[in-house]
């Protein structure tokens, strides 16, 4: 029975029904919190590979990473996370992870939207780099307003495309004349 469940569960996770359940039931109840503000330490479910208890320089680096970490939480589970760090040109979205069983539910898009909200709150541009073959991530980034940038950029990496969300590009254009003056009388 267990082997049958192990065979069927991955197929279920790739199905349209699984994605529809996630989008309709889980996504509205999703909250995004700073990793250090989570009393249950659910960040370990996503970022277990950098533990704060390490000694020396590795421990300090792990703590610095957690200061920039945000996690997408549903109930007692962390479904995904991102590292959003401040650098001289704005904010840098350096890593985004969505746990494999929860991909396709819109968790990545919710995290990207939160990065944009942080950029608005801090009045800073948000930068990221992504491999061109990572189409699910690119669609999530473009859906919340990120635009591809031509090199050179402050975040160039070989074999990656740079994307930027900008405060200036996201503002709606103002009409040049008042609406009442544009109507013929």
Does 112 map to a domain? yes
pLDDT for the residue numbered 184: 42
Does 77 map to a domain? yes
Domain housing 62: 24-171
Does 48 map to a domain? yes
Does 9 map to a domain? no
Quote the number of domains for the chain.
1
What the block records as the tokens of 166 is: 């900008």
Q: What are phi and psi of 144, to 5 degrees?
A: -100, 5
Does 149 map to a domain? yes
- Name residue, tokens 């473009």: 142
Mean pLDDT of 62-76: 81
Does 15 map to a domain? no
Asked whether residue 59 carries a pLDDT value surpassing 70, the answer given is no
Query: What are the DSSP calls for 124-176, one per residue?
Result: --EEEEE-TT-HHHHHHHHHTT-EEEPSS-TT--TT-EEEEE-HHHHSPPPPS
Asked whether residue 142 carries a pLDDT value surpassing 70, the answer given is yes
CATH code assigned at 54: 3.40.630.30
Does 11 map to a domain? no
Does 7 map to a domain? no
Average pLDDT, rounded, for the chain: 78
**124 within 8 A of 91, measured Cβ to Cβ:** yes
């Amino acid at each position: 029975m267990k082997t049958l469940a192990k065979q069927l569960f991955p197929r279920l996770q790739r199905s349209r029904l699984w994605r529809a359940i996630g989008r309709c039931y889980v996504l509205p109840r999703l909250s995004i919190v700073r990793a250090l503000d989570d009393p249950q330490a659910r960040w370990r479910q996503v970022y277990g590979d950098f533990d704060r208890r390490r000694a020396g320089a590795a421990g300090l680096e792990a703590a610095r990473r957690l200061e920039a970490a945000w996690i997408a939480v549903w109930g007692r589970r962390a479904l995904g996370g991102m590292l959003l760090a401040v650098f001289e040109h704005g904010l840098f979205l350096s890593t985004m992870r969505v746990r494999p069983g929860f991909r396709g539910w819109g968790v990545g898009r919710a995290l990207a939207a939160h990065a944009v909200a942080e950029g608005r709150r801090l009045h800073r541009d948000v930068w990221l780099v992504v491999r061109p073959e990572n189409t699910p991530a690119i669609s999530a980034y473009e859906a919340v307003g990120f635009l591809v940038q031509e090199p050179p950029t402050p975040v160039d990496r070989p074999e990656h495309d740079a994307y930027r969300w900008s405060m200036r590009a996201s503002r709606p254009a103002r009409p040049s004349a008042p609406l009442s003056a544009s109507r013929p009388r």
